[in-house]
Amino acid sequence: MLDKITELSHEYGTPEYIQGGGGNTSAKNEETLWVKPSGTTLAELTEDMFVAMDRQKLGKLFETEMPVESSAREAAVMDLMMAAMYPYSSGRPSVEAPLHDTLDATFVVHTHPQLVNGMTCAKNGFEVCKRLFPEALWVEYVDPGYTLCSVIRGRIKDYVASKGHQPEMVIIENHGIFVASHTAGGIRKIYKTVMNGLRKEYKKEKVSPHLEVGVPPSATLKEEITKVLQKVMGKEAEGVCASGAFKVASGPLTPDHVVFMKSYPLIGDPTAKVLTAFKAQYGYFPKVISVKDGVFTVGPNEKNAELTMRFAKDGALVEQLANGLAGVKYMSEQARGFIENWEVEVYRQKVAMGKT
Ligand SMILES: [Zn+2]
């Protein structure tokens, strides 16, 4: 079972399905759930890295009264999850472990493909989903973490009540897809159906599934822009990544995009005055800067800036696809605010645990 889920993790850990450490996979039998640890990428997963959890203890999560305040709730959930881990197991289970446990199927593969998110971020996403994948369970946007797990758990119960079995596909607005099957072949078959169905739909709507990127900016332009970014943003812009021009996403698409790119890019030349005004308006400096001849991403180091560029391109394609349907629909103010604060909380916890 573990070799099969590792193989699936690598297969669906490619940029077509996921960027950075996003997405998660699991396998289970009656007693045990093996789930991807947080902070690892699907592509790098090895069999011994899966976190082994006692399903009986994990099930208690939904029988326990949880604090209402979100960071206290997330902390209580994490405590219960750590307590459900077998003593021989190490790592930190993915926050979505309880959702993996709720799905009865042996294998669960959760990803954020651009083709899927073009639909989940479209104004008519629900209609398109219902028409293309009538058997899928569509769930309107939910804050990630425990809320996501408990809301979807309830929706799965409703689904079972009306259809007599659990869904094989759970598609979440402004987020991504969960695919569940008892066999690895089943997972592949469902993903193929989803990806091919969407490819046909975009073709019908005459929207390209590829992002057009212009020629790389000149060394002089990169130097000029890097200089001003570093002067104004200091350590936050130690890493700068440059790309040829493309049409960047203008707002918050999914939780992962907000985590890496913040909710809004800066469109226009980044002068000191413009950057300061941007920060005054949004509370942070931009992570993505789009000028006429290129796109620049910044981070505390090169690696982070490069990862942000991957998300910028991913988001640009998602927005392009969504606009090819009935138009892009961004996350609500409340939803993006939750992620921006959630990140702070996660970071704070990391610091508290001595991990940074
Ligand atoms: Zn996700």
For residue 31, how far is its CA from the centre of ligand 1 (angstroms)? 25
pLDDT in tens, 136-168: 999 999 988 888 888 999 999 999 999 999 999
Taking 70 as the threshold, does the pLDDT of residue 353 lie above it?
A: no
Mean pLDDT of all residues in 163-184:
98
Mean of pLDDT over the chain? 93
For residue 204, how far is its CA from the centre of ligand 1 (angstroms)? 28
Mean pLDDT of all residues in 245-256:
96
For residue 176, how far is its CA from the centre of ligand 1 (angstroms)? 6
For residue 110, how far is its CA from the centre of ligand 1 (angstroms)? 6
pLDDT in tens, 286-324: 999 999 999 999 999 999 999 999 999 999 999 999 999
For residue 41, how far is its CA from the centre of ligand 1 (angstroms)? 12
Over pLDDT 90: what percentage of the chain?
A: 79
Mean pLDDT of all residues in 17-46:
92
pLDDT at residue 345 in the model = 58
pLDDT at residue 346 in the model = 60
For residue 145, how far is its CA from the centre of ligand 1 (angstroms)? 9
For every residue of the chain, which 3-state class applies, written as one string?
Answer: CHHHHHHHHHHCCCCCCCCCCCCEEEEECCCEEEECECCCCCCCCCHHHCEEEEHHHHHHHHCCCCCCCHHHHHHHHHHHHHHHECCCCCCCECCCHHHHHHCCCCEEEEECCHHHHHHHCECCHHHHHHHHCCCCEEECCCCCCHHHHHHHHHHHHHHHHHHCCCCCEEEECCCEEEEEECCHHHHHHHHHHHHHHHHHHHHHCCCCCCCCCCCCCCHHHHHHHHHHHHHHHHHHHCEEEEECCCCCCCCCCCHHHHHHHCCCCEECCCCHHHHHHHHHHHCCCCCEEEECCEEEEEECCHHHHHHHHHHHHHHHHHHHHHHHCCCECCCCHHHHHHHHHHHHHHHHHHHHCCCC
pLDDT in tens, 57-83: 998 888 888 888 877 888 888 889 999
At residue 355 the predicted structure's pLDDT band, cuts being 50, 70 and 90, is very low
Mean pLDDT of all residues in 81-97:
88
For residue 144, how far is its CA from the centre of ligand 1 (angstroms)? 8
Mean pLDDT of all residues in 26-30:
97
For residue 272, how far is its CA from the centre of ligand 1 (angstroms)? 36
For residue 143, how far is its CA from the centre of ligand 1 (angstroms)? 10
Domains (range + CATH), the chain:
2-204 (3.40.225.10), 219-324+326-352 (3.40.225.10)
At residue 96 the predicted structure's pLDDT band, cuts being 50, 70 and 90, is confident
pLDDT in tens, 188-247: 999 999 999 999 999 999 999 999 999 999 999 999 999 999 999 999 999 999 999 999
For residue 249, how far is its CA from the centre of ligand 1 (angstroms)? 19
For residue 300, how far is its CA from the centre of ligand 1 (angstroms)? 24
For residue 222, how far is its CA from the centre of ligand 1 (angstroms)? 33
At residue 40 the predicted structure's pLDDT band, cuts being 50, 70 and 90, is confident
pLDDT at residue 89 in the model = 85
Higher pLDDT, residue 353 or 162? 162
pLDDT at residue 71 in the model = 78
pTM of the model as a whole: 0.93
Taking 80 as the threshold, does the pLDDT of residue 261 lie above it?
A: yes
Mean pLDDT of all residues in 159-186:
98
For residue 233, how far is its CA from the centre of ligand 1 (angstroms)? 30
pLDDT in tens, 41-51: 999 999 999 99
Taking 60 as the threshold, does the pLDDT of residue 349 lie above it?
A: no
